[in-house]
Amino acid sequence: MKNQVALPGIAVPAPSCPESANERRADSKPETAPGAARVLSPGVPAAAPVVAPLEAAAPKAAPLEAASSEAAAPSLPDSASDAAPHSINAPEPAPHPQEGLAASPSPDSQDAHVLPAAPSAPEIPDAAASASETDNSAVHSAPGTAARPAETASPARPAKMQRKPATLLAEEPAAESQTDDWPPMSEILQSFFIFEPTTAEPSPITVLGLDCARPRGLLDLTATQRALLQEADVICGGRHLLRELTDAAEEKSPADQGDADARAPSHASSPASASASTLDAYEDNAGPHLLKARLLPLSTPLQPVLTRLSQMRAAGERVVMLADGDPLLFGIGATLVRLLGQDAVRLLPAVSSLQQACARLALPWHRVICLSLHGRDDLGPLNAAVSKNAPLCVLTDARMTPDFLARHLLDRGVDWFRAHVFERMGAPDEICHNLDMAQAASTSFGPACTLVFVPADTPRRARLGLEAHELAVDRGLISKKPVRAAALALLRIEPHHVVWDVGAGSGAVALEAAVLAHEGRVIAVERSVGRAMSIQENRRRFGVAILDVRLGEAPECLPSLPDPHRVFIGGGLSGEDGEDILGHVCLRLPVGGRVVASCVLLDTLCLCRNFFERLGWPVEICQIQASEGKELGGDVHLAAMNPVFLLTAQKPASDGAVQKREHE
């Protein structure tokens, strides 16, 4: 199809029917000098027979002709009319869309010279957009440049057969489309040049549990576990787990400097050199594999290492953390979930040491109390657990060994358990011990044992209302049973509380308080060596493991004690340090904490009452005056007990006086 540019006052036919090359050459022979383009005289209308065949041959191309007539409507300025030819019959463009030059006339005609561009281009219909772009590229080229000659001129195609430019969208059927379906330019620009930023969440840290009762080398793992480790960028874990995984010698990594990325490829901890002979032996269908990951030993304190792992995860690296058995059973999994959140951690547990030990002993492990003293110093959970008379599994380390724990419990009268100790569980040289508490206390064990206490006898327990003859008492210094009952009621002890018994005497109040605070801790403070030894003996008699005995003067020995929830003061307030003891107790009590002072002398009662009134604490005073029935002359005689005053105070919510008080 030929595109045309019309000038004012000139009608130019738009032939679209196919013609032979000879006919087109005959029609296009110039009547003037050769090489000049055909120019129609101004004002002469186009020949009618030229348009008639168009209508007869291609009746369906009427919209195209209408578009051509509409394209001829714009006119050029007068200055442009004088400088440019009146009409240009442009040849059909070359088929390649990137061709920037218009095709020239047939080879037997003279080369056409490219004319200078007009000041403004006429508006081009949508149907002729593709051909006009090619023609405009030739018109807008530099003046005096000859157009590239076409090889062979092809006959013009009907409007229905015109080449349609390729689009980014799906093409519609040709029979239904009369115009090109180009998408809007804004969509094209957006699809090619606008890139939406990706906010994909980094992959979570995988915590891979390894069975503690089977070999944990790379060759001994399951296919899924091996795949996780081989795809990882960083593998973190305890040094013993990393050594077992790679069968390598002691690492010489710069992990002590806190930088695992600084490892050289030839380093002993590098995957390429760590037990290469063992790793080379592994083969599957894909051939031999080596760990490409960097090895990061896990050491204390954990926070710097965990911070680095979080940074690696944010950078897109795949991190795998190795753990013993179930990562959530006193393992690193709980720490990672607490610090990073559950969405940032993927947990893959294995069989734990608790399950393995219970399987060896045929114990239903859902009834077993499990504790970990690995890297811990607090024996409070162990002391509280033995009072429940249930199977108890303890994870030990090189400090908290089974023999040390057995001696600790025997010192507190806990001797009704059998101790089952598993050393190097799962290893070829695994050792299993079945001992009583005395034998366990005198046997040496290795580090990292699994200890299971199984009840073998009826436990001894303390109770409320202990009789005086059941206790070891020094010179009769024991609170009477009615006084103990009233004092414990006023204290309102809860199971998890920490209770102080200051001036404990024989420890009767402390023993009965331990019955109520069975999940907490009771501390008896006594300055007399003889009475302190009596308290220890009473503790062994009743197997009260949560009772601690402190020998020392109050208030000097009080700062080293844990903060109390409840305090009973049975003596020592009548001396010079009475107010100092009360002041320190009030400072350590939390809001809502209660203190009960037992006063035999009126001066001691007045001292306590005045002290708490100055602080603004509410005070309750109760006198206990009871009589005890005794046989006398074949009958019962009520022997009166000495009256005792119990003063109770509770720390209010708004208390600033204690903190501001200065002790002289």
Per-residue pLDDT tens digits for 391-445: 999 999 999 999 999 999 999 999 999 999 999 888 888 999 999 999 999 999 9
Q: What is the 3-state secondary structure (H, E, C) of 550-589?
A: EECCCCCCCCCCCCCCEEEECCCCCCCCHHHHHHHHHHHC
Nearest in space to 139 (alpha carbons), one of 78, 184, 91, 176: 91
Which residue in 422, 401, 445, 403 sits closest to 355, CA to CA? 422
Domains parsed from the chain with CATH numbers: 1-163 (no CATH), 205-351 (3.40.1010.10), 354-455 (3.30.950.10), 468-660 (3.40.50.150)
Distance CA 646, CA 624 (A): 7
- Give this prediction's pTM: 0.63
- pLDDT class for 634, splitting at 50, 70, 90? confident
Strand 566-569 vs strand 498-502: parallel, antiparallel, or unpaired? parallel
Q: Supply angle C-alpha 5, 125, 54, rounded to 5.
A: 70
The pLDDT score that the predictor gives to residue 184 is: 57
Token output for 418: 């059998």
What are the tokens at 638?
A: 């009520």
Measured distance CA(113)–CA(603) in Å, rounded: 129
User: Tokens representing 494?
Assistant: 């809860």
Residue type at position 450: T
pLDDT, tens digit (0-9, with 9 covering 90-100), for 225-272: 999 999 999 999 999 889 888 873 333 333 443 343 333 333 333 333
Where does residue 623 rank: exposed (0-12), middle (13-18), buried (19+ CB within 10 A)? Answer: exposed
- Mean pLDDT of the 186-198 span: 48
pLDDT digits (tens, 9 = 90+) for 570-614: 988 988 889 999 999 999 999 999 999 999 999 999 999 999 999
**Nearest residue to 420 (alpha-carbon basis) of 379, 392, 457, 384:** 392
Largest CA distance in the chain: 166
From the list 500, 572, 506, 512, the residue with the least C-alpha distance to 536 is 506
Whether the per-residue pLDDT at 37 is higher than 50: the answer is: no
By percentage, how much of the chain surpasses pLDDT 70?
Answer: 62
Query: What is the rounded distance in angstroms from the CA atom of residue 661 to the CA atom of residue 572?
Result: 21
Average pLDDT over residues 46-62: 43
Say if residues 398 and 448 touch (Cβ distance below 8 Å). yes
Alpha-carbon span 472 to 617, nearest angstrom: 37
In the structure, what pLDDT confidence band is assigned to residue 475 with cuts at 50, 70 and 90?
confident
- On the question of pLDDT at 277 being above 70, the answer is no
Paired strand residues for 547 = 522
- One DSSP character per residue, 46-102 reads PPHHHHHHHHHH-GGGHHHHHHHHHHT-----HHHHHHS-S-EEPPPPPSSTT--SP
DSSP state of 1: -
